Chain A
Amino acid sequence: MRLANRLLPILLVVAALMFVRAPFLINAAPVESTMGVVQKIFYFHVPAAVSTFMGAIVCGLASAVFLWRRKPVADHVALAAAELAVAFGIIVLVTGPLWARKAWGIWWDWQDVRLTMTLVMWMIFVAYLLLRRFGGAGSNVLAAAFGLFGLGLVPFVYVSVNYWRTMHPKTTVVPSLPPEMLVPLLWSILTFLTLFVALVIVRVRLETSRAALEEAYVALED
């Protein structure tokens, strides 16, 4: 944790600089032939989705470690990752329909398995946070089970576009991108992930401080 705290200012500065550079790269990327300018949303919709997946994966793995070893730090990491999965999930669920409205002519399609399952996954992490907030004593154990469910959904959401063909582009879109479109996308993904790591460190620090504060209050009352 000490190393993470030492790395934090560097990560925040790097993420900020990358965020400043990203719009210039996105602007310089060629306009897509079928969808036109609205396809530019892709450069922050996909990185936000990758970050949401990362939040779900980290939360699920940390929850598994917490259930197995009952280490508080694993619980703190799980909570931090769940919160970030929800935050980045909001970006995915808002930017997606804005893109879809122009590209597909509709805001949302309930028949689209990727869309619906992403919403379900996001709601699982919202439920996780609600459980942590209002569940009372022992809710962290129950919430950890939610985290595992969320993790289980990640591969399903990811491959859903390949098995249930709807309007959503397949997973083969990214590897087949020309370099002038791939570079801005990878830059944006790296930017979002750098910020993700920095925010996880800050959030874990907050939770660790909260736990220490509770202990200090108890010691003060004794």
Chain B
Amino acid sequence: MANLSNGENMITASKHLVALFVDRFSRQWIVRDPEGRFWIVPSVENGWDHRQSLYPTEESALEPVPGQYIYMLDLPF
């Protein structure tokens, strides 16, 4: 059996899945990056360059959008 104590990569550091949401109230895309941070991404060319940070609260009504729409925003990850 392999020496598990030396297996430093046996446990992957937990990363968040990149996810896309829509905030229908503010009519904006919200992106969760791999570090788990939330960003408002405007619906313009190179929207990611114009992102603003967001700190969702319990009141935030973020509606998940299917993963394939992430490509629509030309995100860098």
Asked if A and B bind, the verdict is no
B residues adjacent to A (C-beta < 8 A):
none
